[in-house]
C-alpha cells in the first residue's frame, strides 16, 4: 500500500523502494531498557495491567496529528455518548486546554523527558509502559503499568507480569493493543494521521527533527516522518488481525493512515464481492 517513497532532498534521483527497506533505530539501549524494567518491577505501589473479556464499549484512540483540531467537536460528542477516550503523549494537555478531559493517558517512550507529559493535575487513569523512565512513574498518580511485547523480552525477564501488549513500534498502535487487552473491540481513531498537513505535524506546537519523506498511498501524496510511515505500514498488518477477532475500526481525519484504511476497505470489499 505504501509503495512509492521519494527523497525530497534529491528529486533528480527519485527512487522507489519498500518501507521495509528503511532502517529504524531504537531510541533506547538495552542497558536503559533493563534498568527501567527492573525499576518498574521493584515498585511496591505498582498496579499492573490485567486483561478483560470482550465487551460492548468503544475506545477512542486520540493521537496528536493535525486533523485532531478539526475533529474535536465530534470526538467530544463520542466521549459524551459513552466512548472511553485514550489520549497518547502530549495530547491530554492539548485536549485539556480545549475543555476535554481524557479518560486515560497512554505513554510508551523510555526517554526521561517524557515525564513532562504526565500532567498530574489532569484527572485521568494513566497506562504507562514499564519501559518508561522511573521519573515518569514517580510523577504519575493513579498509574497502571503495562509491558510492550518485544521478542525475547519474556525470556530475558521472566518475572515480568503478563499480559504483554502488542501492536507495533509506536504509541498509536500500542494504545490500540492496550485497549484491546482491556476488552474493547470497537475503536475510533482520531489524530493518528501519520502525515503532515502543510507544515504541521501535530495539532499543537511541538518541535521535531524528523526526516520527512514523500509517500504515496491510494493515488494520494503525503509527507511523513519515517517513524509515522512505519506506523502506517504496521497498521496494514494489524487491521486484518483485529477484524478476524470481530473488531470494528473507524479512522477519522484525512491523513496517510486514513488513506491506508480506505485502501484496505476497498480491497476487502472487492475480495468479498
Domain positions in the chain are: 29-272
Per-residue confidence (pLDDT) for residue 17, from 0 to 100: 36
Residue keyed to cell 476497498? 266
Q: Say yes or no to pLDDT of 23 above 80.
A: no
Q: How many CA atoms lie within 13 A of 25 on its CB side?
A: 3
Q: Say yes or no to pLDDT of 19 above 80.
A: no
Q: Say yes or no to pLDDT of 41 above 60.
A: yes
Q: What share of the chain is helix, strand, coil (3-state, %, to 5)?
A: 35, 20, 45
With a pLDDT cut of 70, the percent of the chain lying above it is 89
The pTM assigned to this predicted structure is: 0.88
pLDDT tier, 12 (very low <50, low <70, confident <90, very high otherwise): very low
Per-residue confidence (pLDDT) for residue 206, from 0 to 100: 79
Rg (CA), the chain: 18
Could you give the CA distance from residue 139 to residue 162 in angstroms, rounded to a whole number?
24
Q: Say yes or no to pLDDT of 104 above 70.
A: yes
Condensed to tens digits (0 to 9), the pLDDT of residues 189-244 reads 999 999 999 989 999 987 767 788 999 988 899 999 988 898 898 888 888 889 89
- Contact 59/75 with Cβ under 8 angstroms? no
> Looking at residues 129-157, what average pLDDT do you find?
92
Per-residue confidence (pLDDT) for residue 43, from 0 to 100: 93
Q: Does domain 29-272 have CATH number 3.90.1480?
A: yes
Amino acid at each position: 500500500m505504501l509503495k512509492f517513497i521519494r527523497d525530497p532532498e534529491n528529486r533528480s534521483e527519485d527512487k522507489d523502494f519498500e518501507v521495509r527497506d528503511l532502517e529504524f533505530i531504537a531510541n533506547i539501549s538495552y542497558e536503559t531498557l533493563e534498568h527501567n524494567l527492573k525499576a518498574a518491577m521493584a515498585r511496591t505501589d505498582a498496579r499492573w495491567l490485567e486483561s478483560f473479556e470482550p465487551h460492548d464499549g468503544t475506545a477512542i484512540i486520540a493521537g496528536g496529528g493535525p486533523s485532531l483540531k478539526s475533529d474535536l467537536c465530534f470526538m467530544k460528542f463520542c466521549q459524551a455518548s459513552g466512548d472511553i477516550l485514550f489520549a497518547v503523549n502530549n495530547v491530554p494537555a492539548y485536549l485539556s486546554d480545549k475543555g476535554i478531559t481524557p479518560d486515560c493517558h497512554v505513554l510508551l517512550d523510555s526517554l526521561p523527558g517524557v515525564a513532562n507529559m504526565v500532567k498530574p493535575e489532569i484527572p485521568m487513569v494513566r497506562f504507562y509502559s514499564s519501559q518508561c523512565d522511573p521519573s515518569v512513574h514517580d510523577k504519575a498518580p493513579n498509574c497502571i503499568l503495562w509491558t510492550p511485547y518485544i521478542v525475547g523480552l519474556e525470556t530475558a525477564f521472566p518475572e515480568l507480569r503478563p499480559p504483554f501488549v502488542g501492536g507495533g513500534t509506536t504509541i498509536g498502535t500500542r494504545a490500540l493493543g492496550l485497549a484491546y487487552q482491556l476488552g474493547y473491540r470497537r475503536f475510533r481513531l482520531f489524530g493518528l494521521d501519520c502525515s503532515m498537513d502543510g507544515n504541521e505535524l501535530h495539532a499543537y506546537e511541538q518541535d521535531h527533527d524528523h526526516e520527512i519523506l514523500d509517500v504515496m498511498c491510494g493515488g494520494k501524496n503525503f509527507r511523513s516522518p519515517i517513524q509515522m510511515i512505519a506506523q502506517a505500514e504496521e497498521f496494514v498488518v494489524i487491521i486484518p488481525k483485529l477484524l478476524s477477532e470481530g473488531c470494528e475500526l473507524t479512522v477519522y481525519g484525512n491523513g496517510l493512515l486514513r488513506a491506508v484504511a480506505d485502501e484496505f476497505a476497498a480491497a476487502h470489499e472487492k475480495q468479498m464481492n
